[in-house]
A and B are shown apart, each in its own frame.
Chain A
Amino acid sequence: MPSEETQNKETIKEETRADRKPQTVSAVTIDPEHLAKIKLDKKKFHRKRRLKDWAMFTGYLTPSLVGVLVFFYLPLLLILKTSFQRSSTNTDFVGFDNYSRVLTNEAFVNAAKNSMTFSGIAVPLSVLLALLLAILLNTKLPAESVFRSILLNPMMVPVASVVLIWQVFFSYNGMANGWGLYKLFEDGRIDWLKSDHSQFVILVLFLWKNLGYNMVLFLAALNSIDEEILEAAKMDGANAIVRFFAIKMHFLAPTLFFVAIMSLINSFKIFREVYLLTGDHPYANLYMLQHFMNNAFTNLDYSKLSAGAIIMCVFMIVIVGALFFAESKFDADVEG
């Protein structure tokens, strides 16, 4: 490249030497009309291509889009409409009546409270325990992959299959009472699923099921940390605890958010476990939001159901939005 440039310069110099006399150069005349036409052609071509691209990729999206519209979005709009009606057949506009009816419904309030209590305990606990397990497995433990497989295994086991075992352990005449586990909470034997400690049983089931998944996520994040950075910190005299909080946590932060969101979603799905263990009408503090919805289904009270769904939808959007917002804020902090 440099040789070419110097060459160019030289030629220019020679030229200037050769034609000392100023020469009048006739300007190249470009037909403005022609220019406009070229531009237009270009524009047309681009537009055509863009349209083609759009059509092509929209084509790929169509099956999904149609399905999602038909099965999720349009019915959601329908529900939004129904939630302001007296009932699904009587289309009188009743304002926020249904909403207030749902929000003052004792069962709904109780269910919401139970669900929130459960998520409030289960999510932090599962994140923390999974993180600890991941750290443990990351310390060059022998047979790490075997432990990982075993811990991931419960995720693949259908809950329905282990319900029986949980009953063996936690019913009134179950193993947990036989081993005297009830002494932790009460004096006498407990019928775990029909007591105030029922959430504990469900919590055990939830952790059993979800720890492996969360742990694998954390393990992946821990393994992706550059070994050299840790080495450098070690050289500088950072001990294991400092290294963990100053370096590893920094890289783990995005995963932490992801795991928190996934755990939250999973904790909302806990109805499945509760239903399988206790059926339609569980003990009061296991009555989850889905129970409320299911029982509303059987009562065919659509407007109430719709209002409930919309409330939960908004609630979810707010929570997830807040988490995403926090994450982006945190990311900006870290990078900035």
Chain B
Amino acid sequence: MNRLTEQQKRDAATNARRKVHTTVDRDLSFFEQMSEAEREEFFKDQKKKSLRVRKARKTAYRISTGIGLIVAITVSILAIIPVFFTFLNSFMSSAEIAHNYGVIFQSLSGHAENGATYLAKTPSLTLVPQKVTIEQYLNLLFMSPTYLMKFWNSIILVVPIVLGQMGVSCLAAYSFARYRRKRREVLFFSYIILMLMPFQVTLVPNYMIADQIGILNTRWAIILPGIFSTFAIFLLTKYMRQIPVAYIEAAKLDGATEWQIFTQIAVPICKNAIFALTILLFIDYWNMVEQPLVLLNVPDKQPMSVFLSQINEAEIGIAFAASALYMIPPLLIFLWGEEYLVEGISRSGVK
């Protein structure tokens, strides 16, 4: 009974609503007001407007990209110019170099305090040599054996350090990654602290111990602390901890020994990191100045990096070639391994 009335009520209401709807005069819609021609006109206009908006957006994008490009190009030029400049100048003849830059060294030599002796001249920065020669390189390679010696010194210091540190670090990182107990974590943290210590701090203990065991002023005084530096361990451990446990468990079930797991799972997975670290270490030690100054105070054994800073007026004729030659190995390595390097750096920052 009740239900029926409900239904009836509802029907009545619906009817009423319908009636109202049909009876009330409706305003003509925007489009209905317009004639056919007007409508077309309107749509055309709208299309134009949207096109204009899109165009404006596109130009805004273009302008912002353009500005971005200009900034990026400027910064890039600033970044590359010293390298570029060095290489170009290394193809000048010695006479041209002396003519162009000799004036610089007049301000560097002894009478620097006395302003009156300065010549009011500026060096002429020439990017393109007047005559391209390899005179500098020839002089460097054949006339002055000291340079080659320095170059060799650099190599004989850097290569053992990089290889040694990578070997030691792989083992240690594997240990830190697999065996995680509280005391071990504390040790790991102390490694990190040691990694962050500047040379000012670590050189003193290195010097002390080198003095004690009598390797001061020999190459070992640089090579040994270099091998045991903890820089690579930190990053490698970070990598190795990301190896899924399942891989290691699976290998264990198949009867692999720890050594096999290390050499055939952990190291291959971290191959990229190892390459990246090798590059980073190489450039770091190729660049070293502090260690040889303190630990290897024998001019004959010092690497090229120390030596290049001591070039003076008499040698400026070959200085550019020496500088260029010195930056070739790291640049080649960079070209070869840039992807690894970028990946290595990137992953070191992302948690």
Contacts and interface: CB of A to CB of B under 8 A. Distances in A.
Nearest to B311: A164
A243 B318 CA distance: 54
A217 B345 contact: yes
Contacts of A306: 204
Interface stretch (A4-12, A14-22, A169-177, A228-236): A169-177
B172 A272 contact: no
A297 interface: yes
Interface string B277-304: 0000001001101100110000000001
A63 B71 contact: no
The 5 closest A-B pairs by CB, nearest first: A67-B228, A75-B205, A220-B346, A178-B122, A57-B179
A305 B289 contact: no
Interface in B139-179: 168-169, 171-172, 174-176, 178-179
B198 A220 contact: no
A309 B294 CA distance: 14
Nearest to B343: A220
B38 interface: no
B255 to A, nearest CB: 16
A172 B204 contact: no
A182 to B, nearest CB: 12
A268 B196 CA distance: 10
A293 B200 contact: yes
A147 B311 CA distance: 33
B199 interface: yes
B121 to A, nearest CB: 6
Contacts of B104: 167-168, 171, 173-174
Contacts, number: 286
Interface of A: 53-54, 56-61, 63-65, 67-68, 70-72, 74-76, 78-79, 82, 133, 136-137, 139, 141-142, 147-168, 171-175, 177-178, 191, 194, 208, 211-213, 216-217, 219-221, 224, 254-255, 258-259, 261, 265, 268-269, 271-272, 275-277, 279, 289-290, 293-294, 297, 302, 305-306, 308-309, 312-313, 316-317, 320
Contacts of B178: 57
Interface of B: 64-65, 68-69, 71-72, 75-76, 78-80, 82-83, 85-86, 101, 103-108, 112, 118-119, 121-123, 125, 168-169, 171-172, 174-176, 178-179, 184, 187, 191, 193-194, 196-209, 224-225, 227-228, 230, 233, 258, 262, 283, 286-287, 289-290, 293-294, 304-309, 311, 319-320, 323-324, 326-327, 330-331, 333-334, 338, 341-342, 345-351
A272 B320 CA distance: 20
A136 B68 contact: yes
Contacts of B196: 261, 265, 316, 320
B299 to A, nearest CB: 14
A156 B224 contact: no
A161 B179 contact: no
Which residue among A60, A137, A272 has the maximum number of chain B CB atoms within 10 Å of its CB?
A: A60
Which residue among B108, B119, B209, B309 has the maximum number of chain A CB atoms within 10 Å of its CB?
A: B309
B228 A305 contact: no
B152 to A, nearest CB: 16
B171 A63 contact: yes
Contacts of A191: 107, 112
Given A67-B224, A167-B108, A312-B201, A153 B79 contact: yes
Nearest to A56: B258
A133 B326 contact: no
B311 A289 contact: no
B72 A276 contact: no
Nearest to B308: A160
Contacts of B324: 161
30 contacts: A54-B179, A60-B175, A61-B175, A64-B169, A67-B168, A68-B230, A71-B225, A75-B206, A133-B72, A153-B83, A156-B330, A158-B286, A159-B289, A160-B305, A165-B86, A168-B104, A171-B105, A173-B103, A173-B107, A174-B123, A213-B345, A220-B345, A220-B350, A255-B350, A258-B348, A259-B349, A275-B309, A302-B208, A313-B197, A316-B201
